[in-house]
């Protein structure tokens, strides 16, 4: 028999854990399926300086671990397991995980989004030490520095433009000769004296120092003649987009063409009654820990109301 619970929360990032804190304090005994990245995206960053309540900043892993401890204090149960299949057409809802089977009366989806990375070993090595995928979050650390933004679409233009507030020089590296970004975004980037372009180039390796771990450059390969060159920079930002972790719900929940789950206005309710979505999986706009936590709180309050009804 599947394990039955009143409320299951999928995801243990800021959205999932905030939902867990509220739901546990409402005595709903939520079960949190942590997924493969327990703690979510903040576990791959070093310093978080913009989460309220921490005057001196806090490390990403410590912040999400503290949220988990806070939820557990009120009775939330965390399981190191990942949902692999769901059936939202049946009541109670059915969830199959690697380890087990669950049913629940209400479900909060907080499965987040994944930044797209290049897949280089050196990129992984310097993640949080000069390599980032979030300009809003980490731009501040690059005051008076030179950086690279990878990508040729609107995300890359937007990130590069934003980063010129801090960096003295931002080089957009793109593999093609033309950019994919909308004309208006391209024009904005091209007219910015701090933005430079390295077209027909792909980053082959991120170069840096060991002690302390920091980026000092990026090796670029020209796709036209395979020659390589090294650009000296202090940071590398990925601007190649994000992918919401929503595949599991395709065909069962209303989604935008990009895969973001659609929620009702000023609510976390999806098109299926009793299923709520919070955090980056339904937010392509703000993508911040605080907004994810805020919508996690909303989801728990809405789930509580739904369960009372």
Ligand X SMILES: Cc1cc2nc3c(=O)[nH]c(=O)nc-3n(C[C@H](O)[C@H](O)[C@H](O)COP(=O)(O)OP(=O)(O)OC[C@H]3O[C@@H](n4cnc5c(N)ncnc54)[C@H](O)[C@@H]3O)c2cc1C
Cis check: omega of the bond before 195, within 30 degrees of 0: no
Give start and end residues of each alpha helix (H) in the chain: 14-25, 60-73, 121-125, 135-138, 154-163, 183-190, 289-308
Estimate the crossing angle of helix 60-73 against helix 14-25, to 10 degrees: 20
Measured from the CB atom, the residue of 223 and 301 that comes closer to ligand X is 301
CB nearer ligand X, residue 29 or residue 192: 29
Q: Does residue 137 carry a catalytic annotation?
A: yes
Tell me, yes or no, if 134 is annotated catalytic. yes
Least distance to ligand X, CB of residue 54, Å: 11
Torsion region of 197: left, alpha or beta (phi above 0 gives left; psi -120 to 50 gives alpha): beta
Name the minimum Å distance from CB 33 to ligand X. Answer: 4
Partner residues linked to 169 by β-bridges: 146
Number of helices (H) and strands (E), helices first, in the chain? 7, 19
CA-CA distance, 301 to 309, in Å (whole number)? 13
Please, what is the minimum distance in Å from the beta carbon of residue 230 to ligand X?
24
What's the N-to-C CA distance of the chain in angstroms? 26
Q: Given the rule CB under 6 A, which residues bind ligand X?
A: 10-16, 33-42, 44-45, 48, 50-51, 82-83, 110-113, 115, 132-134, 137-138, 245, 248, 279-280, 287-290, 292
Nearer to ligand X, 189 or 261 (CB): 261
Considering the complex, what minimum distance in angstroms separates the CB of residue 50 from ligand X? 5
Q: Give me the catalytic one of 81, 104, 138, 280.
A: 138
Q: Which is nearer to ligand X, 146 or 280 (CB)?
A: 280
Listing DSSP states for 174-191 in one string gives ESSSS--S-HHHHHHHHT
Angle at 70 between CA 83 and CA 80, to 5 degrees: 25
Choosing from 137, 234, 280, 283, the catalytic residue is: 137
- Residue 101 — φ and ψ, nearest 5°? -130, 140
Shortest Cβ 24–ligand X spacing (Å): 16
Nearer to ligand X, 37 or 179 (CB): 37
Active site residue 104: no
Alpha-carbon distances, residue 225 vs 200, 206, 221, 229 (angstroms)? 10, 20, 8, 12
Catalytic residues: 134, 137-138
């Amino acid at each position: 028999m599947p394990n039955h619970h009143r409320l299951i929360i999928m995801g243990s990032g800021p959205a999932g854990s905030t939902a867990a804190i509220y739901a546990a304090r409402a005595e709903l005994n939520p079960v949190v399926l942590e997924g493969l990245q327990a703690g979510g995206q903040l576990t791959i960053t070093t310093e978080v300086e913009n989460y309220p309540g921490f005057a001196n900043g806090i490390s990403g892993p410590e912040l999400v671990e503290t949220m988990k401890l806070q939820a557990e204090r009120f009775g939330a149960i965390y399981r190191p397991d990942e949902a692999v299949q769901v059936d939202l057409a049946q009541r109670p809802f059915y969830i199959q995980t690697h380890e087990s089977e669950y049913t629940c009366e209400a479900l909060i989806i907080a499965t987040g989004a994944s930044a797209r990375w290049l897949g280089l070993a050196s990129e992984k090595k310097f993640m949080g030490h000069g390599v980032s995928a979030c300009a809003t979050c980490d731009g501040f650390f690059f005051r008076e520095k030179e950086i690279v933004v990878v990508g040729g679409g609107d995300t890359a233009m937007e990130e590069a433009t934003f980063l010129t507030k801090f960096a003295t020089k931002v080089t957009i590296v793109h593999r093609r000769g033309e950019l994919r970004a909308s004309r208006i975004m391209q024009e904005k980037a091209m007219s910015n004296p701090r933005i430079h372009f390295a077209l027909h180039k792909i980053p082959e390796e991120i170069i840096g120092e060991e002690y302390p771990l920091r980026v000092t450059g990026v090796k670029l390969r020209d796709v036209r003649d395979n020659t390589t060159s090294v650009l000296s920079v202090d940071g590398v930002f990925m601007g190649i987009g994000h992918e919401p972790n929503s595949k599991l719900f395709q065909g069962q929940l209303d989604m935008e063409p990009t895969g973001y789950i659609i929620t009702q206005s000023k609510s976390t309710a999806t098109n299926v009654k009793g299923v709520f979505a919070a955090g980056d999986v339904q937010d392509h706009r703000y993508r911040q820990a605080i907004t994810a936590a805020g919508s996690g709180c909303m989801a728990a309050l809405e789930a509580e109301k739904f369960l009372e009804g």
